[in-house]
């Protein structure tokens, strides 16, 4: 029902807002006012990204940041109708285009994802807590965990140090536990070792701690189950103190 000629006019204006290239044959416009649309549209996108990625924004040279945003908004077609979710598409775009190699910043993907995660965990939809009890046995009962969390692996310690401190020497395997506190809604971060990441992942999957430790003892070649148990219990009790571990699942 919409004529192609009308569609074309709409497309030309929208395209101009995305890439800033003044369109030809846009009919009946007040030429001197057209730039306001490009400015207003692009500023919304830019503000949204600078709010979502404050560390990356302040770390990158302004020229580099601006160029990255200009390319993103002109090349990528934003899919979400909710502008606050759009920064995830920016991250995906940077990964897909391998921007970190182009800029010779091998930690860039990690940094962007770390910044996105903070926003994501803070705003993600509520997840129902499991029914749990405070009474139980850490080794033999299924441990109940705050479901509003993410466990992620990074290749650079972007959650520990400023981007200026990332070097080849800092590359490695890093694990970050991010969770949302139930009452305050605040986001908390916890750097964990690969061993604790493994233990956490297993108990989060409902495996009994006693079984996890047997596996971990072999997998990590610890060969001292008593010592492992002591450390694991300290770790779990620390999580309990933070109200991240809730207690024990009710049958």
Partner 1 sequence: MDLKKHIGIGFRKDFSEELLESDILKPAFIELAPENWIGMGGYWKKQLAKAAEKFPITCHGLSLSIGSPDELDYEFINKIKKFMKEYNVKIYSEHLSYAKCDNAHLYDLLPIPFREDAVKHIAKRIKEVQDILEMPLAIENVSYYTPVAAEMDEATFISSIVNESGCNLLLDVNNVYVNSFNHKYNARDFINNLPLDKVSYIHMAGHEQISDTVIIDTHGQAVIDPVYDLFEYTTHLLKPVPVLLERDFNIPELEELQTEITRMENIVAKTWNKKPAIA
- Provide the binding-site residues for partner 1, judged by CB under 8 A: 1-3, 5-7, 9-11, 13-15, 17-18, 26-31, 33-34, 36-37, 40-41, 44-45, 48, 76-84, 86, 122-127, 148, 180, 184-186
CB 101 within 8 A of CB 42: no
Residue 17 or 239: the one with the smaller Cβ distance to partner 1 is: 17
Q: How far is the CB of 29 from partner 1 (least distance, A)?
A: 4
CB atoms inside a 10 Å sphere around CB 77: 8
Q: How far is the CB of 25 from partner 1 (least distance, A)?
A: 10
Q: How far is the CB of 239 from partner 1 (least distance, A)?
A: 19
CB 189 within 8 A of CB 212: no
Residue 91 or 248: the one with the smaller Cβ distance to partner 1 is: 91
Burial of 72 by CB count in 10 Å (0-12 exposed, 13-18 middle, 19+ buried)? Answer: buried
Q: Which two tokens stand for residue 155?
A: 């290749």
CB 236 within 8 A of CB 244: no
Residue 28 or 61: the one with the smaller Cβ distance to partner 1 is: 28
**If you search the block for the tokens 């395209």, which residue do you land on?**
15
Q: Which two tokens stand for residue 193?
A: 């070792």
Q: How far is the CB of 205 from partner 1 (least distance, A)?
A: 23
DSSP per residue over 111-128, as a string?
HHHHHHHHHHHHHSPP-P
**If you search the block for the tokens 């601006």, which residue do you land on?**
66
Residue 48 or 193: the one with the smaller Cβ distance to partner 1 is: 48
Q: How far does the chain reach from its first CA to its final CA, in angstroms? A: 59
Residue 83 or 160: the one with the smaller Cβ distance to partner 1 is: 83
Q: How far is the CB of 24 from partner 1 (least distance, A)?
A: 13
Q: How far is the CB of 23 from partner 1 (least distance, A)?
A: 10
Burial of 245 by CB count in 10 Å (0-12 exposed, 13-18 middle, 19+ buried)? Answer: buried
Residue 74 or 155: the one with the smaller Cβ distance to partner 1 is: 74
């Amino acid at each position: 029902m919409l004529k192609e000629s009308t569609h074309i006019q709409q497309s030309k204006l929208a395209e101009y807002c995305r890439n800033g290239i003044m369109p030809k044959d846009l009919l009946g416009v007040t030429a001197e006012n057209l730039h306001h649309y490009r400015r207003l549209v692009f500023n919304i996108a830019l503000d949204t990204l600078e709010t979502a990625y404050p560390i990356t924004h302040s770390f990158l040279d302004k020229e580099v940041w601006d160029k990255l945003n200009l390319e993103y908004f002109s090349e990528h077609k934003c899919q979400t109708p909710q502008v606050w979710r759009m920064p995830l598409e920016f991250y995906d775009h940077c990964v897909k285009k391998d921007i970190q190699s182009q800029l010779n910043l091998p930690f860039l993907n990690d940094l962007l994802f770390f910044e996105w995660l903070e926003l994501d965990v803070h705003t993600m939809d509520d997840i129902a807590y499991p029914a749990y009890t405070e009474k139980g046995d850490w080794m033999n009962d299924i441990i109940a965990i705050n479901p509003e969390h993410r466990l992620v692996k990074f290749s650079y310690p972007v959650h520990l140090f400023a981007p200026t401190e990332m070097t080849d020497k800092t590359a490695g395997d890093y694990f970050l536990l991010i969770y949302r506190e139930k009452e305050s809604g605040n986001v908390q971060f916890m750097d964990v070792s690969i061993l604790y990441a493994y233990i956490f992942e297993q108990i989060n999957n409902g495996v009994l701690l006693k079984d996890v430790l047997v596996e971990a003892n072999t997998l990590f070649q610890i060969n001292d189950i008593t010592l492992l148990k002591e450390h694991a219990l300290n770790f779990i009790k620390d999580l309990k103190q933070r109200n991240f571990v809730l207690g024990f699942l009710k049958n």
